[in-house]
Amino acid sequence: DAEFTDRCDLVFSIRDEDVLAMGIPRLTVKPSCRSAVATYLTRVNFCLRYGKIVLSLDDGELRYEYLVHSAAFAVDASDAVTDIVATVCSILERALPPLYMILAGVWTGDQAADAYKDSFKDKKKDDADTEKREPQYCRLSANDYICMPVGAS
């Protein structure tokens, strides 16, 4: 069974002029669910404007990868890091709940993808609510971040 958690690791990899941010949820997709999860992720990735969510078929590791060219950074690098963290966390906040339904054996990959797409139907209301909420991450130190669960404050 998968271990469900509301936390993920955030890893930065800097190479030349590119920064790769990876959000890695603390869960492992069991082999019996990998096909359904792969179907779900294929459909989700088609909707994503930035980055991609990948699944290792070898060990079941899941991660969101977001590549940013350093020229896109603002003058203040800490603002850029904050924006990257917020992007990674917001993508995972929306993508993980339907995935959990697959892991629990409740939905197929297609049902989860439909639910993911349906979560955007009332986008104007979501945008207004998001502006009122605190950011979905908290800063621990200069290099360590923890993604917080949806609705956490």
> 3-class DSSP state for residue 151?
coil
- Name the amino acid, one letter, at 153: S
CA distances from 153 to 72, 86, 136, 150 (A): 29, 14, 7, 9
- More confident: 69 or 52: 52
CA–CA separation, 149 vs 8, rounded Å?
10
Asked if 139 and 146 count as a contact pair (C-beta separation under 8 A), the reply is no
For the chain, what percent of residues have pLDDT higher than 90? Answer: 44
Mean pLDDT computed over 83-99:
90
What pTM value is reported for the model?
Answer: 0.74
Asked if 108 and 99 count as a contact pair (C-beta separation under 8 A), the reply is no
Asked if 8 and 150 count as a contact pair (C-beta separation under 8 A), the reply is no
